[in-house]
Structure 1
């Protein structure tokens, strides 16, 4: 994660079912669905003003940290989150054992 995002807090917007960060007045977020003990990440989006600045990576990393810290299991349906975990396989430790997307 780029240093400028490190101290930006992650907000769990339960009303809109998304994890959000705000940087320079603009949002990056991941839509999610929550079930007991499990969070499914569905879609990642950044406002155009944040494209190419590392905001998507920052919101993904902060969300994965949240999921791990709160003892959830992850279902990474979002293609961007899925690709991030493929590049950083250490995060497979929080992926739900029933998710078969990483099998070769």
Structure 2
């Protein structure tokens, strides 16, 4: 019997999202849009077949690490990302609050 491999997180910039792969199969993603030096995270989803494995946490942590290393700030519109940030204050120095202006911009960006 083979052991499952560690999940792999990759940025798929053309699709505006980070994906998490388990044994080469897409298990979920966190979606974003970029705006003026900010990466606005607006949705995170893990496929039901992969639920309960802690993959959302792995995905979001690696996405936020990558965002920091890309010299972008994090805006947590996604409830899961916002909850993650409340528990992980190591990202506080690169996080910005969600404002009505950002929400309006995001709505317009997603409508395109």
Normalising by structure 2, report the TM-score. Answer: 0.75
RMSD: 2.0
1:42 aligns with 2:20: no
The residue number in structure 1 matching 2:90 is: 90
Structure 2, gaps ≥5 residues long = 100-112
Structure 1, gaps ≥5 residues long = none
Distance 2:57 2:32 in 1: 16
Distance 1:27 1:36 in 2: 30
Find the structure with the greater CA-based Rg: 2
- Which one has the bigger helix percentage? 2
Of structures 1 and 2, the one scoring higher in RCO (CA 8 A, sep 6+) is 1
Q: Deviations over 1:37-85 (max 9, x none)?
A: 1100001001111111011001000001001111101101110010011
Aligned residues: 95
Normalising by structure 1, report the TM-score. Answer: 0.80
User: 1:10–1:26: structure 2 CA closer, same or farther, 3 Å change rule?
Assistant: closer
Q: Which runs of 4+ in 1 moved over 3 A?
A: none
